[in-house]
Amino acid sequence: MTKTIKALAVALALGAACVIGVAAQDQPAPKEKGTARGSRIRENIITFKLLRMTQALSLTQEQTAVIYPVLTKLEKEKYEITHKLNESMGKLRALLALDKPAEDKLLDLMAEVGSLRDQISRTDAEEASFLKTKLTVLQNAKYVLFNVEFYRGLGERLERARRLHLRNHFTN
């Protein structure tokens, strides 16, 4: 097998493992950020993204060696911030479900949500700035499309896996 085919096989196997792992669970992903299962899923998705990115952008070994550690760190940071954002959004949702939510608490939560969104934006900007210095113009252009398509495709695959899991759960 050629290197490209081997890399594609590994990437597809890893992606399938991520999707199957999430779909096979009867419960939603744990809310605690430090759980082993949540951490493994996050790491698998990051690794899968980096493998797919290597293929989509035709990264050299040198580029890969420089880019992987930095993007892994930034992606982990984004996942942690996103976890906090989801918690804050849940609190906001619960507060809004009350008949008369306290305005001061609403303002605090809205400020927290805004701050977390800003942190994600800054991390994305740091990632883009870093990649601009490590990729060719062509690779940067491909990355813009790759990033959007990767997360859209991942979301679609996870949704299909959830539907399949629910269908199997209710038919058994």
Most distant CA pair in the chain, distance: 64
Give me the percent of the chain exceeding a pLDDT of 70. Answer: 79
Chain centroid, CA 111 distance in Å: 23
Distance between CA 168 and CA 162 in Å, rounded? 10
Q: How far apart are CA 161 and CA 95, in angstroms?
A: 31
Structure confidence by residue, pLDDT tens digits, 29-76: 444 445 677 778 888 888 999 999 999 999 999 999 999 999 999 999
CB atoms within 10 A of CB 59: 19
The predicted model gives 114-120 an average pLDDT of 97
Express each pLDDT in 123-135 by its tens digit: 999 999 999 999 9
Please give the pLDDT value at position 28: 43
Q: Which two tokens stand for residue 164?
A: 């399949």
Mean pLDDT, the chain, whole residue set: 82
Residue 24 has pLDDT above 90, yes or no: no
DSSP 93: H
Q: What are phi and psi of 100, to 5 degrees?
A: -135, 85
Statement: residue 26 has pLDDT above 50: no
Q: Is-contact 109 95, C-beta < 8 A?
A: yes
**What per-residue confidence (pLDDT) applies to 45?**
87
pTM of the model: 0.69
